[in-house]
Structure 1
């Protein structure tokens, strides 16, 4: 049964839903489902040949191809490895891949096919509980669930992903996790059918509505794609409702079982003079076409300063069109040419065919921001949520500039507001102003100085001590003016005492730079008490003699800069009691952004490649170094300031002022003899040009 909050949210979502458009979409999907059943009737399964089932062949009229690529609008299972289908053929060498317990593809297919036959027979008898007991199909939950909907559309809802099913159950208020994708799907359908406002929707319409109401994807994807040099194929794209790109030599992307095997093939055809980061960036551009989903936005551009149209990815999705002479990779897009216009030059578009479009740029082009979606599906926050509930305390660690404090702040407020099951918590992640407001409210001190706030932030440093954190004697001035040593509670002790008296609420302590303090000395006996199974146990504190316990409703989020100290050098007892979540540089966030001639993602990748080889992964440079006030820098002057006053001093520290080594790392912008920045690099535009030459800013 859905909660009242979920039901009210559903009613509001129904009011904004384009029901007629959804009905047409559902009718088209139903027509495709019927075609599938006619092509592969249940009676054909006992003798279905492997060649009619598997991916990786020239034959595209197979069960697996239909399920993954021809029926995208029916519980999409697109993406990931082809192993989800249990058996498939490798495109590059023609070998068959199947579970290791089988001796041959023939034996594997005989057993897997028998499993599908048993599944269809059980479902036909409405024995749905037995569907998960078929051992041969254990490794194919998404395929199993989608097939069941295809043949029994009245008994299932078209949602195949276990993660999506659990997401929808959670936002409906069902706290009991599903034990399998099939059972979860039935559980979801039952919950939806108990909501009167949804009673007249078909199961296919329910599937579409769920993604309109509470899409589990973290955000709408917005990309720009150039339809050929100087948009030479734009008339064709507009007339036939698609966008097209080149790199035809790699062939149909749907025939690659993983992104990595695709990249290996891409590298053979497009080595880009052996510059691996260039190969990776360009391969990622092409693979983006496989990742686009219905509802995503595509901007067609000509050059760096003209928008031809803004479109919406439709249910056709990615299609390889061998009948075309060139530019055979396509994605179905419904175009709107009313947004066609000249725009201020976007320098990054000169070096990319496919690239992400930032929220700021989208606003400039359309006056709108990307459609907000629930942020609770963001893996970082879900991992953090799970870790806190499992261990009680975590440390976010990684190189400088990877967003550790940024995420810790948001995670703390999000967690205190209810986490993944709360719309209010999700709104905090999406809105900086709301975050600051809630952070301030949760940190407001009580009128009682002995009481702690629900959100407490401290920063460890070499002078921080047990007396600051737990308790200790401090000098205090008496009424007479004399200074006396008085026993005082530390920050964490106050939090624990307050939380113990307020068990209905959660309390979070954020410890920045946790590795800069003497952790064994600061934590003392607390190192034992924070363990999950020791929460609530009481010890006698050595100075006050008072009993002390860490209640279950207190959680700790720490941050740690690995450039200062490796995780392996931390106290063993601390490592055993905290869960560590690594945050690494993410150049994808900088994709499509340039300063002068320099592509920021290429610069970050190239610099970090060199740093990893020289110093290891802990010393890398984070993407956050190129953000100012929440936006990615785009002026050479701003980049030059970051390079001179933040990046260069850090690299000098790594290299112990060895300017020859520094020049090897960043190139001719360093004057080795003068042991300083080269004279030419004092000009921001020139600095960007020289770094672009060093780190291979790409040409399209």
Structure 2
């Protein structure tokens, strides 16, 4: 595997150094509006070498498995982070950064998941198979080599030309390059041959009751939100930080779909530099120094929804929708997204074709009302979207039920103080109700940790208070101490 390990990235994907810097190095996370620990994980796509020169492919394809080397590490699950892997591979520090090696081991053990798609390759120009991961990683010490393995249902085995000039890395996450993944999927779009197996992972059912059990919204408000989305086809969930806007948006989509189906949901985040070229389509530089027309996520998503013969609903979710320049991003789409203009067509700016937004595409935006840096929302956007206000739900039946289940006097005390704090924020003429503290800040995935409340208070509401009352530090300090005392 020496050759597999040594080659740098050669095509679309960002360099290992960028991936290394971008990826988290520990499991710490804060409870925030955008974090959802129970969210079904979207499927990921991997390009994989089954040994040098595909030397292990016959065994792996026959036995329904995949594996990678680095047997000197033993059981990959024994390593808590990537640095511990690097130190074990090169304790003397004489072999360079070894980023490719370390990243492959870490991703195989920790980032790949059941349901992911793997494309097996031979060298740089040949595909030999496609399959779906069907098990977690496991260590089989009785094997002579490739002792860390996963089960895979190889639904296609054969020989196909591999598009592009593929890397010689052992394992590469190609999920971010939607165009490349689409190209690979088209290769295997034919019906399976007799005897080939196709594993269909059943989707978890999700309905109105499921939504109400997880999102602290009353049945009446849920029904009103659904009617608004049905009528306008575009809604914006607006509210202060920590009220669960992202969490609610995804579960609203699941409840209308009837199942937890991430394949019919796509999410992007707007920012000040986001443009029409990022959103819809535009020209991107190529390795040869030229430019190629690249379709954006909204174009591809609409195309997928349009080609759904059953016309099932699809949901495009936009986080921080008010951070972007709406006219710059949407362009001619501002007219096409209107509910009564979904069947109308306009000629695209960059492509000699007409385009329409399918009636089965619904857009859900999220807007943080406490962001001081934002200008007044574009009136054209306001006219095309229905607005739904989301407020802290400390007094909702769902939150109070969860609070009783936790059975923590400190939590009860803290909730009471935050309710008082929100009243003070709402009455402040310089702030208002759009700056209140949301209920999701108090959620913790590790409630058996006695210190989780203190951690939440220090990381979430206190920094907000310092920002809200930066010109009244004494007031911010008074409330900070009150929250600290309640959580201790």
TM-score calculated relative to the size of structure 2: 0.50
SS state at 2:291 partner: strand
**Residue in structure 2 matched with residue 497 of structure 1 by the alignment:** 303
User: In the alignment, which residue of structure 2 is the partner of 1:643?
Assistant: 457
State the alpha-carbon separation in 2 of the partners of residues 566 and 385 from structure 1. 30
Measure, in 1, the Cα distance between the counterparts of 2:223 and 2:355.
Answer: 31
1:407 and 2:407 correspond: no
Matches within 5 A, 1:546-695: 546-564=353-371, 569-588=376-395, 589-590=399-400, 592=404, 594-596=408-410, 599-614=413-428, 615-629=431-445, 637-656=451-470, 658-666=472-480, 686=485, 688=487
After superposition, give the CA deviation of every residue in 1:641-679 in whole Å (9 maximum; x if it has no partner). Answer: 11112211111111226421313444567xxxxxxxxxx
On the 8 A contact 1:566/1:618 being kept in 2, the answer is: no
Given the alignment, which residue of 513, 538, 543 partners 2:320? 513
* Map of 2:285 onto structure 1: 475
After superposition, residues 406-555 of structure 1 pair within 5 angstroms as 406-417=247-258, 425=259, 438-439=260-261, 442-443=262-263, 454-477=264-287, 482-504=288-310, 505-555=312-362
Q: Runs (4+) of structure 1 moved beyond 6 Å?
A: none
CA gap 1:667/1:498 in 2 versus in 1, 3 angstroms = closer
* Bigger relative contact order (CA 8 A; separation at least 6): 2
How far residue 639 of structure 1 moved from its aligned partner, in angstroms, is 1.5
Structure 1 segments unaligned to the other structure (5+ residues): 1-371, 418-424, 426-437, 444-453, 670-680, 690-700
Alignment CA distance shift 1:540-1:565 (3 Å)? farther
RMSD: 2.7
CA gap of 1:537–1:513, structure 2 versus 1, over 3 A, is same
* Secondary structure of residue in 2 paired with 1:515: helix
Instruction: Give the equivalent residue in structure 1 for 2:222.
Output: 381
Pair 383,551 (structure 1): closer, same or farther in 2 beyond 3 Å: same
Q: Which moved more, 1:633-642 or 1:406-415?
A: 633-642
Structure 1 residues 597 and 510: CA distance shift in structure 2, 3 A: closer
Cα deviation, residue 568, structure 1: 8.4
Structure 1 residues 462, 374: closer, same or farther in 2, change over 3 A? closer
Distance 1:641 1:528, change over 3 A: same
1:553 deviates by 0.9
Matched residues in 2 for 1:652 and 1:576: separation? 35
| CA distance, structure 2, for counterparts of residue 597 and residue 374 of structure 1 | 25
Match of 2:55 in 1: none
Q: Is the 8 A contact 1:412 1:510 kept in 2?
A: no
Structure label with greater radius of gyration = 1
Task: Flag the 1:382–1:598 CA change in 2: closer, same or farther, 3 A.
Answer: closer
Q: How big is each residue's C-alpha offset from its partner over 1:189-246, in whole Å with a ceiling of 9 and x where there is no partner?
A: xxxxxxxxxxxxxxxxxxxxxxxxxxxxxxxxxxxxxxxxxxxxxxxxxxxxxxxxxx
Alpha-carbon distance between aligned partners in 2 of 1:500 and 1:598, rounded to the nearest angstrom: 49
3-state DSSP class of the match of 1:472? strand
Q: Work out whether residues 414 and 487 of structure 2, in 8 Å CA contact, stay in contact via their aligned partners in 1.
A: no
Q: Distance in 2 between matches of 1:406 and 1:540?
A: 35
On the 8 A contact 1:598/1:688 being kept in 2, the answer is no
Q: CA deviation at 1:511?
A: 1.0
CA contact (8 A) 1:391 1:578 kept: yes
